[in-house]
Chain A
Amino acid sequence: MTNAIFTGLMLGGMYALIAMGLTLQYGVARIMNLSYGEFLVAAAFASYWLFTGWALNPLLGLALVIPAGFGVSLLLYRVLLTPLVRRARTRGALEVDSILATFGMMFIVQGIMLSMFGGAYFSYSFLAIPVSLFGEILALNRLIAFGLAVAVGLALYLALTRTRLGTSIRAVAVDPMAAQLVAIDVVRTSAFAFALGGALVAAAGVLISMFLTFSASSGVIFTMKALIVVVMGGVGNLLGCLVAGLALGLSESLVATFVDPGLTLAVNFALFLGVLLVKPAGLFGRAQR
């Protein structure tokens, strides 16, 4: 039982980690980024390359990959997405435009990865050592990823709720029209939020590469998972991300242990649908007026 719960928490922490960047990009910047998973895999490749080519510890690699994720996302927003933002009359229109634009982006990022690394599976071993926690044996790399997911989630949550910059990011998420009335540069703040999301997805990619096998084509899996967590937790809500991710991870691990591993997907979707039936805007979301 304890083992199932630990495993579930760690899996859930990973799901939350995957989803946090998307909730910022979608919730604040209103960009439904379909190339999200590709960016995650790109970060995983970057980490792989640094680790195997330069013997750089992935945890130290974070110091390079996170700023790179931020910079690339900022550039992407400025060059590709800002014209869409200026053109869009409503948020709905922006969402549709951004889906189309990032769908194209997905192929470009995938193509770059394919040409650089080929289509094969990649995996490396880092901190894949057992640690004993409350009498249960866990993999250290997963434990670290979980710890960082929780730490990053809480730190961001505090930053968003306790600082002026964070509050203004939330103000844009809540009401971009009103945000201009308090001297918030909505486009700039959205760009910042999008880039922050890019930094988060880069962090997630690095951490996940320590224990998951990935290939240039595996991005879509992560986009889907992130989307489920984001929608379930409430778009734009980091705490929702954390709770929804943990709920999915726990349910998956408990079902795999006590019922049948074949039912994990079914239970995931049942949970997802159940939440949306009771709270259509997600666990922590608010219905749009």
Chain B
Amino acid sequence: MGSSVTRFAAGLLAVTGAALFAADGPALAQSSVKIGYAISRTGPNAGGAAVTTLPNYEMWVKEVNAAGGLKLGDKRVPIEVVQYDDRSSAEEAARSLERLITQDKVDFILPPWGTGLNLAVGPILNKAGYPHLASTAVTDRAPELAKRWPNSFWLLGTSAGAANTLVDLLVKLRGEGKIGDTVAMVSVADGFGIDLSGAARPALAKANFKLAYDKTYPVGTQDLSPIVNEVKALNPDVFIAFSYPPDTLGITEQARIASFNPKIFYTGVGTAFPLFKQKFGANAQGVMGIGGWSGDSAPIKDYLARHKASAANGAEPDRWASAVTYASLQMLQQAIERVGKIDREAVIKDLQTGTFDTIIGKVKFENNLPTKYWWVGQWQDGEFYGVAPAANEGARTPVIPKPAWKAP
């Protein structure tokens, strides 16, 4: 009970935008490493940040401090956190970061959640010379941005990568005779949906798929059954929804109710959320979605267990950007420790050139971008495994066709 009261107080503080941990003047002889972040505790991004980003930041800080802190040279220095609520607004995120840099004088900054906010704070972090490990941003501009801002690293890749990998998988499955030609695609009329459908459309056309249905819907649409019903009438082999979490759940639910069961059923952000499994149980089986991880690897299994022990209410991580986010923190830590002091320029240099041992395997950036991504995952027996690119270590063979929906 005591903890829920303090958490209540903390929540109140966070929503009023106040700093949780007051800074007590510049540290003498580096008694702590100050790490700051502005994260969406309120507003439309809060749902994503609460699942993917915050639990990892908190767990990492807890783990590092439990071990005595970051290893700088021959001594360990604990992490001190300064955090703000960016209220899901780019202006507020920018303001908070300016404050972290100029007033709180933090040593390192962890990025906000989501593509939009990472793009918004990019120039600020670049100008101030802070490393920027964007682990929750999917953007086609990633290669260009990595070049323009050498301090920035884009760990989640490009929407073209996501769409092309999906289409490659479809081509392969068609070649194996497992699916036919017809594809129905819906997308949310917002950043993610526009980018992904924009990349998938030409790729599908080029691969000679028949796009029987291709529509968008506004963010926050509360009833998607007209879409599902219409798509069902077209009887496609493949259904693709580039959707946001509430829509992902809504579309899946409606498909189950309407017994719309194409050979491939793919949904967007949220498919990899633990909530998806929680809500659909055995019915998640065979559903594909963006993301995925090597669910059989020992480090991932260990990470999952630690995350459950650390997060509030025993929450599980999502099976996509969560692990990447945690891996980005491991990279930051290894770079700082290798440099051995608070030297941001040297840390950026180390991130650009070094090799890192993380829960998602060995990572080495090329032009500030990782070389491997998970783009398509599938729920198989209660775990969301990466299935494509098939060359990735730990890739599972997709279950095709998707089994029929069961009664709940």
A and B touch in the complex (CB under 8 A): yes
Smallest CB gap from A124: residue in B: B279
Q: Does B209 lie at the interface of the complex (its beta carbon under 8 Å from any beta carbon of A)?
A: no
- Which residues of B are found within 8 Å of A137, using beta-carbon distances? 257-259
B73 to chain A, nearest CB (A): 37
Task: Give B residues with C-beta under 8 Å from A.
Answer: 4, 7-12, 14-16, 40-44, 46-47, 49-51, 54, 88, 186, 189, 215-218, 220-223, 225-227, 229-230, 245-246, 249-250, 253-254, 256-259, 270, 273, 275, 278-281, 312-313, 315, 407-408
A115 contacts which of B12, B275, B281 (Cβ < 8 Å)?
Answer: B12
Chain A residue contacts of B40, Cβ below 8 A: 119
B258 — which chain A residues lie within 8 A by C-beta? 130, 137
Instruction: Report the separation of the CA atoms of residues A213 and B243 in the bound assembly, to the nearest whole angstrom.
Output: 13
> A45 CB to closest chain B CB, in angstroms?
13
Residues of B within 8 Å of A252, CB to CB, are: 223
B186-A261 in contact (CB<8A)? yes
User: Chain B residues with Cβ under 8 A from A3's Cβ?
Assistant: 226, 229
The reply to whether B408 and A129 contact each other, CB–CB distance below 8 Å, is yes
Report B-chain residues with C-beta under 8 Å of the C-beta of A142.
223
A interface residue numbers (CB < 8 A to B): 3-4, 7, 10-11, 14, 107-108, 110-112, 114-116, 118-125, 128-130, 137-139, 142, 211-218, 221, 249, 252-253, 256-257, 260-262, 264-265
Taking a contact as CB atoms under 8 Å apart, the answer to whether A215 and B230 are in contact is no
Contact of A217 among B8, B43, B225, B227 (CB under 8 A): B43
- CB < 8 Å: which of A108, A119, A213, A261 contacts B49? A119
Instruction: Return 10 A-B CB contacts under 8 Å, by A number.
Output: A14-B223, A107-B16, A110-B15, A115-B4, A121-B249, A121-B270, A137-B257, A139-B253, A260-B216, A261-B218
Q: Return chain A residues, CB-CB under 8 Å to B281.
A: 125
Docked CA distance A11–B250 (Å): 13
Q: Tell whether A261 pairs with B215 under 8 Å between CB atoms, given A124-B279, A125-B279.
A: yes
Q: Which of A130, A218, A253 contacts B259 (CB 8 A)?
A: A130
Contact yes or no, B273 A121, CB < 8 A: yes
CA distance A72 to B15 in the complex (A): 22
Main DSSP-derived SS at the B contact region: helix
Which of chain B's residues have a CB closer than 8 A to the CB of A217?
A: 42-44, 46-47, 88
| Whole-angstrom distance between the Cβ of B74 and the nearest chain A Cβ | 39
- When the two chains form the complex, which single residue of A11, A120, A130, A265 contacts B51, counting CB atoms closer than 8 Å? A120
- Cα of A260 to Cα of B41 in the assembled complex, Å: 34
- Report how far A206 CA is from B252 CA in the complex, Å: 21
- A237 to chain B: closest CB distance in Å? 23
Contact A115 B42 (CB under 8 A): no
Say whether B50 contacts A120, CB under 8 Å: yes
> Which of A118, A142, A211, A262 gathers the greatest number of chain B CB atoms within 10 Å?
A118
* Contact residues in A for B12 (Cβ distance below 8 Å): 108, 111-112, 115
CA distance A170 to B174 in the complex (A): 65
- Docked Cα-Cα span, A14 to B221, in Å, equals 13
| Extra A-B contacts (13), CB below 8 Å, given A116-B4, A262-B217 | A107-B15, A118-B50, A119-B54, A120-B47, A121-B246, A123-B246, A125-B408, A139-B225, A139-B253, A139-B257, A217-B44, A218-B47, A261-B221
Report if A261-B227 is in contact (Cβ < 8 Å); known contacts: A137-B257, A217-B46. yes
In the assembled complex, the CB of A9 is this many whole angstroms from the nearest CB of chain B, namely: 11
* A123 near B279: Cβ-Cβ < 8 Å: yes
Question: A215 CA to B270 CA in the complex, in Å?
Answer: 13
Taking a contact as CB atoms closer than 8 A, the residue among B254, B257, B275 that contacts A120 in the complex is: B275
Measured between alpha carbons, how far is A142 from B279 in the docked complex, in Å?
17
A217 (CB) vs chain B CBs: closest residue: B46
Chain A contacts for B408, CB-based, 8 A: 125, 128-129
- Could you tell me the distance between the alpha carbons of A257 and B26 in the complex, rounded to whole angstroms? 61
CB distance from B298 to the nearest CB of A (A): 27
Taking each of A14, A129, A130, which has the highest tally of chain B beta carbons within 10 Å of its own beta carbon?
Answer: A130
